[in-house]
């Protein structure tokens, strides 16, 4: 398959690009390197020393003998170049990761709220419009989020795969109707993914575009079989309060002797997936697109659910790390249940990778290897959901002696 990976330099995009290339697909990455630029803005770096995209691609050629193309293009603002690229490449499939993906960053300031909405909505809409205009018949697999559903909305009922069958009361009795699961986003970032869903529904209906929306859980882990082949291929590891995500942050914190930062009670239950499964899921989705005329296919890209506090305790038990309860900068329920359906992925052949000591240790090893690169002032989450909400000071000021 000729695959165009939009956002192929990011945390999920890079390992996905390598995996697809390794599996024999003809991959081109399109990325404006915005994630690296946001690092500069936040004055933080990936814990792992990621190389330039040029060196990454050169290394991959050296290691695998395979070539991945690269185009530096801003999907949100360079529409004409996108059209030209689609006409030149005529991809069979497009993976769309090209959105600002951190909830805390999206809530930092008016500027980051606006950037998140402007960038994400325009990136997605430009892609859809360009496919209609060029008549390039590529299936899209888009990275959505489990966060579109919200948490606790349907009590103990499992979260379905995108669509919910409800009964609508009418004067003539109940009508059964299938609806897109009601949107309950918890941040501006999550909200943009609920906007994407409405764009997808319209363009699938009006123009017959073939779209799969992957509602992904929280990704953990760093390396895949491909990124581990050479240090120069190493994937990002975000540990900071904006871009770092909960399980990876705990593992990094344990590695450097920092208390595990639980914001709120830790009663939040969330869905998780290992990065090695992310890349597999994307290929499965690309190989099983919906037909033209179908509504968007929605797959819940996750393999297990955990309460935050249970993860903290697990890691604390294994490593001896303390647990610190910090004020929650988010406005969210203190606790929730979460049961999620992923039947379609299982039926399509996904063999889930779940939490194991081996994988946790792999992550801790990486964090330990690069711990000297950590900036301790970046660990506590301080992007608040409303002005004036309380935040914590730093919990640790020096790394342990080498």
Contacts (CB under 8 A) with a copy of itself, residues 85-114 = 110, 113-114
Catalytic residues: 145, 189, 193
Strand partners, 297: 212
- Residue 105's contacts (CB-CB under 8 Å, 6 or more residues apart) are 38, 42, 112, 116, 189, 242, 243, 383
Please state, in angstroms and as integers, the Cα–Cα distance from residue 175 to each residue in 163, 170, 179, 336, following that order.
Answer: 16, 7, 12, 30
What span, in angstroms and rounded, lies between the C-alpha atoms of 194 and 62? 41
- CA atoms within a 13 Å half-sphere pointing along the CA-CB vector of 306: 21
Determine, following the binding rule CB under 8 A, whether residue 169 of this chain makes contact with a copy of itself.
yes
Exactly one of 37, 287, 331, 372 binds a copy of itself (CB under 8 A); which one? 331
Nearer to a copy of itself, 224 or 328 (CB): 328
What span, in angstroms and rounded, lies between the C-alpha atoms of 130 and 396? 49
Least Cβ distance, residue 206 to a copy of itself (angstroms): 6
Reading the block at residue 25, the tokens are 């697909």
Contacts (CB under 8 A) with a copy of itself, residues 193-212 = 194-195, 198-199, 201-202, 205-207
Return the number of other C-beta atoms located less than 10 Å from residue 322's C-beta: 13
H/E stretch holding 27 reads strand 26-31
Determine, following the binding rule CB under 8 A, whether residue 157 of this chain makes contact with a copy of itself.
yes
Nearer to a copy of itself, 106 or 344 (CB): 106
Q: Which stretch binds a copy of itself (CB under 8 A): 42-50, 128-136, 137-145, 341-349?
A: 128-136
Reading the block at residue 209, the tokens are 């575009």
- Give alpha helix (H) positions in 257-307: 275-287
Exactly one of 24, 172, 393, 400 binds a copy of itself (CB under 8 A); which one? 172
Q: Which stretch binds a copy of itself (CB under 8 A): 118-126, 223-231, 284-292, 365-373?
A: 118-126
Exactly one of 168, 292, 346, 348 binds a copy of itself (CB under 8 A); which one? 168
- Give contact residues for a copy of itself (rule: CB under 8 A): 79, 83, 110, 113-114, 117-118, 121-122, 125-126, 129-130, 132-133, 135, 153-157, 164-172, 174-175, 177, 179-180, 182-183, 185, 188, 191, 194-195, 198-199, 201-202, 205-207, 331, 385-387
């Amino acid at each position: 398959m000729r695959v165009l990976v939009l956002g192929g330099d990011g945390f999920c995009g890079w390992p996905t690009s390598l995996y697809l290339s390794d599996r024999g697909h003809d991959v081109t990455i399109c990325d404006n390197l915005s994630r690296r630029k946001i690092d500069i803005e936040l004055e933080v770096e990936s814990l792992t020393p990621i190389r330039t995209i040029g060196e990454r691609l050169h290394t991959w050629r050296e290691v695998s003998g395979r070539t991945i193309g690269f185009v530096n293009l801003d999907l949100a603002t360079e529409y004409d170049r996108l059209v030209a690229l689609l006409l030149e490449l005529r991809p069979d499939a497009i993976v769309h990761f090209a959105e600002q993906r951190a909830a805390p960053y999206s809530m930092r300031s008016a500027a980051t709220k606006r950037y998140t909405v402007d960038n994400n909505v325009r990136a997605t809409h430009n892609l859809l419009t360009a496919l209609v205009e060029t008549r390039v018949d590529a299936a899209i697999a888009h990275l959505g989020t489990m966060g579109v559903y919200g948490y606790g909305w349907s009590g103990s009922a499992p979260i379905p795969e995108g669509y919910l069958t409800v009964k609508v009361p009418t004067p003539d009795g109940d009508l059964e109707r299938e609806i897109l699961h009601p949107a309950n986003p918890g941040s501006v970032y999550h909200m943009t993914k609920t906007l994407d869903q409405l764009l997808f529904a319209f363009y699938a209906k009006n123009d017959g575009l073939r779209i799969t929306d992957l509602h992904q859980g929280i990704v953990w882990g760093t390396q895949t079989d491909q990124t581990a082949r050479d240090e120069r291929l190493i994937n990002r590891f975000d540990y900071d309060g904006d871009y770092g995500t909960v399980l990876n942050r705990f593992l990094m914190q344990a590695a450097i002797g920092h208390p595990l930062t639980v914001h709120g009670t830790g009663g939040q239950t969330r869905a998780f997936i290992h990065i090695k499964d992310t890349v597999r899921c994307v290929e499965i989705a690309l190989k099983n697109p919906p037909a033209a005329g179908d509504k968007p296919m929605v797959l819940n890209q996750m393999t297990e659910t955990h309460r935050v506090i249970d993860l903290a305790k697990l890691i604390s038990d294994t490593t001896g790390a303390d647990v610190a309860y910090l004020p929650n900068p988010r406005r969210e329920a203190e606790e929730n249940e979460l049961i999620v359906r992923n039947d379609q992925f299982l039926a399509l052949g996904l063999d889930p990778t779940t939490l194991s000591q081996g994988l946790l240790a792999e992550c801790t090893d990486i964090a330990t290897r690069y711990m000297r690169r950590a900036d301790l002032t970046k660990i506590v989450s301080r992007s608040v959901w409303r002005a004036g909400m309380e935040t914590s000071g730093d919990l640790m000021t020096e790394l342990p002696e080498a």
